[in-house]
């Protein structure tokens, strides 16, 4: 199937040399602004959605990695020379190679939530509340199924909140859970569409980016 172009950019911030990098990994708001600085000006009021930008901060034995997915190719040259290393590649060939039945490894950091009902005693009616543990896993199963992805295994891990303070002084706080595992592609078109759009809330602050890779 033919898909719209998507790019994935991997940034390895040098937290030893760059004060900006150290600040960004500790602020979801700062990281949002850093990611959006890689894209052209003049994209309108909702530049993130216009450019199809999703991102995720991963941490491993070798340090932090910022993954950015976008429908517009970013200009990694906009990063300061001391910020870290960055490389960009097209995701389209991977997506066009997907078929029904393809087995994949996946990872997503998501803001799993639910809206309280009118007669709730757990909080305010229609309040959005975070989910944790088994409830968060059940949320991810539902999201994946709607996106044409049949989960075979799930390993979930709670992460610290995506938090920061916006320029209007309002605080940003999004609960995060990371989900890893294996899955089978059930509906290619649905999966590609949802992968491009992202999953759940908190997309401006590092939630909702699903990464997949064929299982060998």
**What CATH number is associated with residue 21?**
3.30.70.1200
In 3D space, the residue among 209, 130, 200, 172 whose CA is nearest the CA of residue 30 turns out to be 172
Token duo for residue 46: 């909702």
Kindly state whether residues 89 and 101 are assigned to the same domain: no
- Please name the residue that has the structure tokens 């993954």: 67
Helix (H, G, I), strand (E, B) or coil at 19: helix
DSSP code for 37: T
Distance CA 163, CA 150 (A): 31
pLDDT higher than threshold 90 for residue 18? yes
Residues with Cβ within 8 Å of residue 115, at least 6 apart in sequence: 126, 127, 128, 129
Q: Could you tell me if residue 1 is inside a domain?
A: no
Q: Could you tell me if residue 131 is inside a domain?
A: yes
Kindly state whether residues 76 and 158 are assigned to the same domain: no
Q: Could you tell me if residue 2 is inside a domain?
A: no
Q: How many domains does the chain have?
A: 2
pLDDT, one tens digit per residue, over 135-182 is: 999 999 999 999 999 999 999 999 999 998 887 888 889 999 999 999
Domain boundary among 78, 93, 108: 93
Domain boundary among 53, 70, 93: 93
pLDDT, one tens digit per residue, over 6-16 is: 999 999 999 99
Kindly state whether residues 152 and 165 are assigned to the same domain: yes
pLDDT, one tens digit per residue, over 140-152 is: 999 999 999 999 9
Kindly state whether residues 80 and 157 are assigned to the same domain: no
Q: Is the pTM for the entire model greater than 0.95?
A: no
Under 8 Å between Cβ of 208 and 198: yes
DSSP code for 36: H
Distance CA 82, CA 139 (A): 40
Kindly state whether residues 129 and 210 are assigned to the same domain: yes
Radius of gyration over every alpha carbon of the chain, rounded to an integer in angstroms: 17
In 3D space, the residue among 110, 10, 146 whose CA is nearest the CA of residue 70 turns out to be 10
Kindly state whether residues 101 and 206 are assigned to the same domain: yes
Kindly state whether residues 89 and 111 are assigned to the same domain: no
**Measured on CA atoms in the order 69, 72, 76, 79, is the torsion positive or negative?**
negative
How confident is the model at residue 204, as a pLDDT? 95
Kindly state whether residues 126 and 63 are assigned to the same domain: no
Q: Which domain holds residue 49?
A: 7-93
Q: Could you tell me if residue 55 is inside a domain?
A: yes
Distance CA 7, CA 116 (A): 36
């Amino acid at each position: 199937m033919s898909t719209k172009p998507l790019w994935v950019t991997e940034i390895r911030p040098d937290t030893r040399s760059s004060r900006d990098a150290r600040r960004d990994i500790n602020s979801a708001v700062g990281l949002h602004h850093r990611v959006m600085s890689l894209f052209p000006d003049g994209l309108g009021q909702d530049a993130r959605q216009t450019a199809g930008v999703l991102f995720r901060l991963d941490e491993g034995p070798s340090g932090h990695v910022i993954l950015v997915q976008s429908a517009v190719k970013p200009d990694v040259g906009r990063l300061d020379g001391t910020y870290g290393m960055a490389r960009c590649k097209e995701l389209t060939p991977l997506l066009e190679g997907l078929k029904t039945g393809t087995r994949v490894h996946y990872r997503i950091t998501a803001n799993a939530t639910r809206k309280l009902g009118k007669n709730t005693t757990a909080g305010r009616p229609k309040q959005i509340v975070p989910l944790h543990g088994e409830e968060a896993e059940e949320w991810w199963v539902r999201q994946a199924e709607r996106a044409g992805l049949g989960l075979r295994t799930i390993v979930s891990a709670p992460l610290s909140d995506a938090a920061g303070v916006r320029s209007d002084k309002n605080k940003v706080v999004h609960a995060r859970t990371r989900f890893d595992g294996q899955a089978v592609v059930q509906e290619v078109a649905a999966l590609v569409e949802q992968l491009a759009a992202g999953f759940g809330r908190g997309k401006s602050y590092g939630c909702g980016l699903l990464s997949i890779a064929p299982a060998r």
